[in-house]
Amino acid sequence: MRRSSTSLRGPVVAVAAAAALVCTVVTAPGTAAGAAGVPSTTDRVLVEIPGPENAGPTALSQTHTEAGSGYIRVPRQGRDGSPAGTLSPETAPGDGAVTKVVDNGPTSDRLDIVFVGDGYTAGELARFHTDVKERWAEIVAVEPYTTYANLFNVWAVDAVSRQSGVSGDPSRDVVRDTALGSYFWCENTERLLCVDEAKVDSYVDNAPAVDLVMVLANSGKYGGAGYNTPSPTLGYEGIATSSAHNAQSGQVAIHETGHSLGKLADEYFYPGVPGYEHYTGPEPGESNITELTAARMRSTRTKWYRWLGRTSPDGGTVGAYTGGGYYVTGLNRPTDGSLMRFTGKPFNLPGVEAMIAGFHRHASAARALTPTARTLRAGDSARIALARPVGPAARPLRVRWYLDDEPLRPPAREDAVQVSELRLDPRRAGPHRLTVVVVDPTDSVRDPAVAETLRTTLTWTVRA
C-alpha cells in the first residue's frame, strides 16, 4: 500500500506530561541499553506520573521500574496476562471503512493523521466521526497547529466493536468486547489507556497514508497514553490514545504529539521520589532539556540559546529553569510551565520551533501541479499549489521564480508561470531550466537547520 510516512532515525524516548497528564508508553525494539535512559528490551516501557487532579507527583512503581531510568517494563500483553483485545474474528459491515475528514492535498505532500475509534458499536459510528472532528478542532486551536493547519490531512477509520465503551470504565472489573482491546488500568494505573498495537495497525493499514495515529476510546473517563516510537511495519511516528469525552483528553493527545512530532522531552519532574533528586547522566538529546545554564548555552551556541530572553507564549521569559526530564535538579527546561509540563498551556518558543520541524518532515508548503518530469513547451505552464500559513502568527510565503538561475520579474500569479511569457533564446542548443523556490519566513524558527526544511524547490525543463 502506498505510504507517505517517513520512518524515524532511531527510537524516540518520550513520556507523557505533567500534572493532569497521563503515562506514556514507549515501544523500544532493539534499543541499546542506556541510550537516553531507555532499557534494552522488546517490551513496552512506561512511567508513572501525576494524576488528573493536579495533586502533584505520585510514587513510581518500584516493582517494574528500571534502575535509574524511571521507565517501567510492560510485557506485550493485555489485561491479566492475556493477549490485548477481545473482539472475535467476526466483524460487522463497514468495519475498516475509511473517511477523509480533512483534505489538504495528496498524501505525499501532507502530514497524514489517522484516527481510529474503539468501543463504538455499528450504531455509534456517527458519534465517532463527530468526535474526530471535535478533537481535530481542539488540536488546530493550539499553535503551531493553527498556523500550519493546511499541512495536514485527517482520516477516520471505522472500527466496529461488539460492545459500547472500553474495559476498565467505570471500574476495574468491567471488561468489554472491543475492536482494539482498549483498557484502563494498564500496568495497574487507572488512567493509563492501552491498546492492542497489532489490532490498531490492522485498521490503520486501510488508510492510504499514515504519519501519526490517534486512538479515541468511547469513554468519558480521564485517561490516555502515548506510544512514541515508529511502527516497524507502517512507519508512522507514534500512537496517542485518549478517551473521547473527557474535558482534558484533547490536551493529552496534543502533548503526545510533542513527543512524536516535536521530539520533545517532558519538562516536569518528581519531587520526593527516590532516584530523581539529581540528574548526573550525559547531555540529553532532546532539544528542550539540558544540563547547561543559560550562560553556558550562549557561550557554546547550543540548545535553545537563540530564544534566551524572549517572552514565551506560555508566559515568562525563556531561560534555564531548574527541573525537567523527571529530575528535580541537574536538568533545566526553557520555561516554567509549557504544554510539555502542564495541561491547558501552549508550547513554549523552543517547543513551537520543534513542532514546526516535525510538521515539515512529512509535509511541504508547495507542491507541483504540473509534473516536474514533464518537459514544458510553448503553450504550457508551470503550476504549483501553496499550503499557506493561516492565522495571526502567519507570515506570507515567499515565492521566487528563476529561469536558468536568473530571477524572473514577478509573474502575474505566484502559483503559475506561462512558458509563452518567458524570454527564451531560440538559438540555445540545450533546454532551459525553470525553478520556483518557496520559503516560509516564519518568526517561529531561528535554527538555520530547521529553516532550511521550510524551503521547497521545484524545477522544470523548458524547451524553446
Q: What pLDDT digit, counting tens, does each position of 207-227 carry?
A: 999 999 999 999 999 988 888
256 within some domain: yes
Alpha-carbon dihedral 411, 451, 336, 46, rounded to 10 degrees: 120
Range of the domain at 413: 366-462
288 within some domain: no
Residue 464 confidence class, pLDDT cut points 50, 70, 90? confident
Q: Which residues contact 424 (CB under 8 A, 6 or more apart)?
A: 432, 462, 464
**Pairwise CA distance, residues 171 & 192, whole Å:** 13
Read off the CATH number of the domain in which 87 is found. Answer: 3.40.390.10
Q: Is the pLDDT of residue 62 over 60?
A: no
Q: What is the arithmetic mean of pLDDT over 76-101?
A: 61
Q: Which residues contact 29 (CB under 8 A, 6 or more apart)?
A: 11, 42, 229, 232
pLDDT given for residue 429 in this prediction: 82
Instruction: Say whether both 254 and 372 belong to one domain.
Output: no
Q: What is the arithmetic mean of pLDDT over 128-154?
A: 97
- Picking from 12, 402, 15, 22, the residue whose alpha carbon sits closest to that of residue 190 is 22
Q: What is the arithmetic mean of pLDDT over 72-98?
A: 54
- Picking from 363, 362, 383, the residue whose alpha carbon sits closest to that of residue 372 is 383
Q: Which of 260, 276, 303 is the last residue of a domain?
A: 260
Q: Is 71 exposed, middle or buried (0-12, 13-18, 19+ CB in 10 A)?
A: buried
CB atoms within 10 A of CB 308: 18
374 within some domain: yes
pLDDT, mean over the chain: 83
Instruction: Say whether both 93 and 215 belong to one domain.
Output: yes
- Helical segments of 41-115, H only: none
**Pairwise CA distance, residues 346 & 312, whole Å:** 9
Instruction: Say whether both 82 and 204 belong to one domain.
Output: yes
Percent of the chain, pLDDT > 90? Answer: 68
Instruction: Label residues 340-350 b or e (16+ Cβ within 10 Å = b).
Output: bbbbebbbbbb
Q: Which residues contact 342 (CB under 8 A, 6 or more apart)?
A: 17, 18, 19, 20, 268
Residue 91 confidence class, pLDDT cut points 50, 70, 90? low
pLDDT given for residue 227 in this prediction: 83
Between 19-23, 56-60, 409-413, 414-418, the lowest mean confidence (pLDDT) is in: 56-60
Residue 172 confidence class, pLDDT cut points 50, 70, 90? very high
Between 14-28, 30-44, 151-165, 407-421, the lowest mean confidence (pLDDT) is in: 30-44
Q: Is the pLDDT of residue 360 over 90?
A: yes
pLDDT given for residue 410 in this prediction: 84
Instruction: Say whether both 192 and 44 belong to one domain.
Output: yes
Instruction: Say whether both 255 and 372 belong to one domain.
Output: no
Q: Which of 238, 260, 282 is the last residue of a domain?
A: 260
Q: What is the arithmetic mean of pLDDT over 319-346?
A: 95
Could you tell me the CA-to-CA distances from 352 to 140, 146, 163, 325, 388 in Å, in that order? 13, 11, 40, 18, 18
Q: What is the arithmetic mean of pLDDT over 95-106?
A: 96
pLDDT given for residue 81 in this prediction: 39
| CA atoms lying within 13 Å on the CB side of residue 260 | 33
316 within some domain: no
Q: Is the pLDDT of residue 384 over 50?
A: yes
Q: Is the pLDDT of residue 56 over 70?
A: no
pLDDT given for residue 386 in this prediction: 97
Percent of the chain, pLDDT > 70? Answer: 80
pLDDT given for residue 82 in this prediction: 38
Q: What is the arithmetic mean of pLDDT over 102-127?
A: 96
Kindly report whether the peptide bond that precedes residue 170 is cis, defined as omega within 30 degrees of 0: yes
Q: Is the pLDDT of residue 93 over 80?
A: no
Q: Which of 260, 279, 298 is the last residue of a domain?
A: 260
Q: Is the pLDDT of residue 350 over 60?
A: yes
Q: What is the arithmetic mean of pLDDT over 230-247?
A: 90
434 beta partners? 403, 460
153 within some domain: yes
182 within some domain: yes
Q: Is the pLDDT of residue 19 over 50?
A: no
Q: What is the arithmetic mean of pLDDT over 87-107?
A: 82
Instruction: Say whether both 115 and 231 belong to one domain.
Output: yes
Indicate the pairing of strand 44-46 with strand 398-403: unpaired
pLDDT given for residue 9 in this prediction: 24
**Pairwise CA distance, residues 341 & 324, whole Å:** 9
pLDDT given for residue 390 in this prediction: 95
Cβ(464)–Cβ(424) below 8 Å: yes
pLDDT given for residue 329 in this prediction: 97
pLDDT given for residue 426 in this prediction: 80
Helix/strand/coil percentages in the chain, nearest 5? 15, 25, 60
**For the packed helices 249-260 and 349-359, what is the interaxial angle rounded to 10 degrees?**
70
Q: Is the pLDDT of residue 6 over 90?
A: no
Cβ(394)–Cβ(388) below 8 Å: yes
pLDDT in tens, 295-305: 999 999 999 99
pTM of the model: 0.83
Give the chain's length.
Answer: 464
| Alpha carbon 231 to chain centroid, angstroms | 13
373 within some domain: yes
Domain count, the chain: 2
410 within some domain: yes
Between 88-92, 155-159, 245-249, the lowest mean confidence (pLDDT) is in: 88-92
Q: Is the pLDDT of residue 88 over 90?
A: no
Q: What is the number of H-type helices and E-type strands within the chain? A: 6, 19
Q: Determine the residue type at 28.
A: A
pLDDT given for residue 427 in this prediction: 81
Q: What is the arithmetic mean of pLDDT over 380-399?
A: 95
